[in-house]
């Protein structure tokens, strides 16, 4: 199997190989932790508790990072270095070179700190690698891991999996890239049976020894090519999730890349390949028969019949093809962990989708408004656009170096109007010109609106919300106004940007919240 290059020649340090449990010899280990965000803080806090000597570095010197630094110093960190200068070299730990660097997921291999560590032969782990190595703790049950990655659908699938496992009577939690660091879950007093672990390609890049019970790559499309240095490297890092899987490698039978990943993976003896498909499943797969989700992989009589698990209607308030695919993948993981068939149905019915993923916001004058701010790449937007027939599409943002030709060509016939957000839309505009030349494209007056809003907020300070208004909030208000003017009865106004949000918003959640607020204001004015 070809992997992105994160296997660096490292200094001979046999001690690291022996660090495979909470009670291993961590005391005095010299570690540099890169980043003091959610995962970095959890890694540093854990290492300090284990007795390691830790230096934490972070490029941001703010009230938030200083507060976290103070907390870590109190509990025993060797030092915390903040500011841009902290990233110019790998620091010493108590006067000696570190044994290990534990990096937060956002640090690309090309970043100066991990690049310098690699050049020196210092081994680099991510927080997931550290969590895997400390998961076994004396006197406490060791939870199984079922691991989820993919370009899109990770958070939905990990939530569905958690709900199915809980419906089966298992103590389970959704952790990892979904928000709760795995290390925090491991240190809780709760004895988990299973952890449903969402993993990004960034996290997988820095993971070396994980051996989950079951794993899945939901789908694969061009994304984060700037971080990985190309699509092949991105795909190779995603494929790491299958390495050393013990019970079931779950794959998307309708995507050849994931099939090939499983075929090439170095798994543990006895591991099965389990496919999921939106068509009628073959033996060894989960799939769809009429309006039912069925199992021909874990069913004892799978060669002659399919076992009913749930209905398509159980997959969400707005059933979509990708929602059904996510549910099938989650069902395969849950079944691999021992969940009975009825737990799949009950879990899906109990699952509450998070905000910003095909979230129905309002219906007014025959127009439905949908927030899919989490659609941060073309593959995710493709899933959203496929669910609706006539769309006023609010799109745009930071493109991350991807192409929009395939997306626009596929959905040109359903686009009534496109309203652009964002500051990096050259690629999207080119695709629209090539494949949807007759679709109107509207541009909110970004700069003027933002300047006016900032001036008004500074002068009046009428409310805290006005004072904190961002350029993105103002542009979103204009985008919603333009979309309302373009929409006709029977249309869907879909905010599925197909791009990242950080050019105008703090996060995809901020972008989605801004959309929800502006739609609510519009509905109030119209009623």
Q: What is the DSSP letter of 96?
A: B
Q: Would the pTM count as exceeding 0.85?
A: no
Percentage of the residues of the chain whose pLDDT score is greater than 90: 73
DSSP single-letter state for residue 141 = P
Tens of pLDDT, residue by residue over 282-327, are 999 999 999 999 999 999 999 999 999 999 999 988 888 899 999 9
Q: Which residues of 179-197 are buried (b: 16+ CB within 10 A; e: fewer)?
A: ebbbbbbbbeeeebbbbbb
Which residues lie below 8 Å from residue 279, measured CB to CB, with a gap of 6+?
A: 254, 287, 288
Indicate the pLDDT class of residue 472, thresholds 50, 70 and 90. Answer: confident
Distance CA 328, CA 331 (A): 5
Flag whether 46 is marked binding: no
Q: Is 68 exposed, middle or buried (0-12, 13-18, 19+ CB in 10 A)?
A: buried
314 phi/psi in degrees, rounded to 5:
-75, -10
Please state, as a whole number, how many other Cβ atoms lie within 10 Å of the Cβ of residue 2. Answer: 10
Q: How high is the pLDDT of residue 355?
A: 77
Q: Which of 468, 212, 214 is nearest to 332 (CA)?
A: 214
Does residue 103 sit in helix, strand or coil? strand
Confidence class for position 203, pLDDT limits 50, 70, 90 = very high
> What domains, with CATH codes, occur in the chain?
22-130 (3.40.50.720), 137-350 (3.40.1190.10), 359-526 (3.90.190.20)
Residue 387 confidence (pLDDT): 86
Q: 154 among the known binding-site residues? A: yes
Q: Is 238 annotated as a binding residue?
A: no
Task: Find out whether 65 is annotated in a ligand binding site.
Answer: no
Quick: pLDDT tens for 26-37: 999 999 999 999
> How many whole angstroms separate alpha carbon 515 and alpha carbon 139?
49
- 498-517: b (≥16 Cβ within 10 Å) or e: bbbbbbbbeebebbbbbbbb
The reply, when asked if residue 51 is annotated as ligand binding, is no
pLDDT digits (tens, 9 = 90+) for 47-77: 999 999 999 999 999 999 999 999 998 887 6
**Alpha helices, DSSP H only, in 395-507?**
405-411, 426-435, 446-460, 464-467, 471-486
Task: Quote the CA–CA distance of 147 and 154 in Å, as a whole number.
Answer: 10
3-state secondary structure of 198: strand
Min mean pLDDT across 165-169, 176-180, 462-466, 489-493 is at 462-466
Three-state secondary structure of 459-474: HHCCCHHHHCCCHHHH
Q: What is the arithmetic mean of pLDDT over 467-487?
A: 84
pLDDT for the residue 447? 40
Q: pLDDT digit string (tens) for 370-423?
A: 999 989 989 889 988 988 999 999 999 988 778 999 999 999 999 999 999 988
The predicted structure's pLDDT at residue 462: 36
Residue 400 annotated in ligand binding: no
The pLDDT-based confidence of 105 (bands split at 50, 70, 90) is confident
Burial of 405 from C-beta contacts in 10 A (0-12 / 13-18 / 19+): middle
Q: How far apart are CA 33 and CA 54, in angstroms?
A: 7
SS (H, E, C) 329-397: HHHHHHHHCCCCHHHHHHHHHHCCCCCCCCEEEEEECCEEEEECCCCCCHHHHHHHHCCCCCEEEEECC
- Average pLDDT rounded to a whole number, residues 171-190: 92
Q: Return d(Cα 325, Cα 309) in angstroms, integer.
A: 14
**Residue 152 among known ligand-binding residues:** yes
> Does residue 446 carry a pLDDT above 80?
no
237, 189, 185, 246: which is closest to 215 by C-alpha?
Answer: 246
Q: Residue 293 in contact with residue 327, Cβ under 8 Å?
A: yes
φ, ψ (nearest 5 deg) of residue 415 = -85, 120
pLDDT at res. 78: 67
Residue 339's pLDDT is 98
Tell me the pLDDT band of 226, cut-offs 50, 70 and 90. Answer: low
* pLDDT band at residue 453 under the 50/70/90 scheme: very low
Give SS3 for 229: coil
Mean confidence (pLDDT) of the chain: 89
By percentage, how much of the chain surpasses pLDDT 70? Answer: 91
In the structure encoding, which two tokens stand for residue 192, read together? 């988990």
């Amino acid at each position: 199997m070809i992997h992105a290059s994160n296997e660096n020649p490292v200094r001979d340090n046999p001690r690291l190989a022996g660090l495979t449990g909470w009670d291993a010899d961590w005391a005095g280990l010299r570690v540099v932790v890169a980043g003091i965000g959610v995962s970095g803080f959890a890694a540093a806090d854990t290492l300090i508790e284990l007795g390691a000597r830790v230096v934490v570095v972070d490029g941001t010197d703010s009230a938030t990072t200083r507060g976290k630094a103070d907390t870590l110093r109190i509990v025993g960190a060797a030092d915390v270095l903040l500011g841009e200068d902290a990233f110019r070299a790998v620091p010493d730990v108590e006067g000696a070179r570190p044994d290990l660097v534990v990096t937060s997921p956002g640090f690309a291999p090309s970043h100066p700190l991990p690049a310098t560590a690699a050049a020196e032969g210092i081994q680099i782990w991510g927080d997931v690698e550290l969590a895997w190595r400390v998961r076994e703790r004396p006197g406490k049950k060791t939870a199984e891991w079922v691991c989820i990655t993919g370009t899109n659908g990770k958070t939905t699938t990990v939530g569905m999996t958690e709900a199915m496992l809980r419906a089966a009577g298992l103590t389970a939690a959704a952790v990892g890239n979904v928000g709760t660091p795995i290390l925090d879950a491991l240190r809780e007093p709760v004895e988990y049976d299973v952890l449903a672990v969402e993993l990004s390609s960034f996290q997988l890049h820095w993971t070396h020894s994980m051996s989950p019970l079951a794993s899945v790559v939901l789908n694969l499309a061009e994304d984060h090519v700037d971080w990985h240095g190309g699509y092949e490297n991105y795909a190779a890092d995603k494929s790491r999730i299958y390495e050393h899987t013990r019970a079931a490698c779950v794959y998307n039978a309708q995507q050849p890349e994931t099939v090939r990943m499983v075929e090439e993976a170095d798994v543990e003896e006895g591991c099965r390949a389990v496919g999921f498909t939106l068509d009628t499943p073959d033996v060894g797969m989960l799939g769809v028969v009429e309006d039912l989700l069925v199992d021909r992989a874990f069913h004892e009589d799978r060669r002659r019949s399919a076992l009913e698990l749930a209905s398509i209607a159980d997959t969400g308030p707005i059933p979509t093809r990708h929602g059904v695919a996510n549910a099938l993948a989650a069902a395969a993981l849950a079944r691999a962990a021992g969940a009975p068939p009825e737990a799949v149905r009950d879990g899906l019915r109990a699952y509450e989708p998070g905000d910003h993923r095909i979230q129905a916001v309002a219906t007014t004058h025959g127009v439905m408004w949908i927030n899919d701010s989490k659609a941060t790449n073309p593959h995710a937007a493709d899933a959203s656009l496929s669910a609706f027939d006539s769309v006023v599409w609010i799109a745009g943002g930071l493109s991350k170096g991807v192409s929009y030709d395939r997306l626009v060509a596929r959905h040109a016939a359903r686009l009534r109007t496109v309203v652009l957000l964002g500051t990096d839309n050259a690629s999207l505009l080119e695709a629209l010109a090539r494949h949807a030349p007759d679709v109107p494209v509207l541009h909110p007056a970004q700069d003027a609106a933002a300047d006016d809003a900032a001036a008004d907020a500074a002068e009046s300070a009428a409310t805290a919300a006005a004072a904190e208004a961002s350029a993105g909030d103002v542009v979103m208000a204009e985008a919603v106004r333009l979309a309302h003017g373009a929409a006709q009865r029977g249309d869907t106004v879909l905010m599925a940007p197909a791009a990242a949000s950080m050019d105008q918003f703090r996060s995809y959640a901020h972008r989605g919240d801004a959309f929800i607020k502006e739609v609510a204001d519009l509905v109030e004015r119209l009623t």
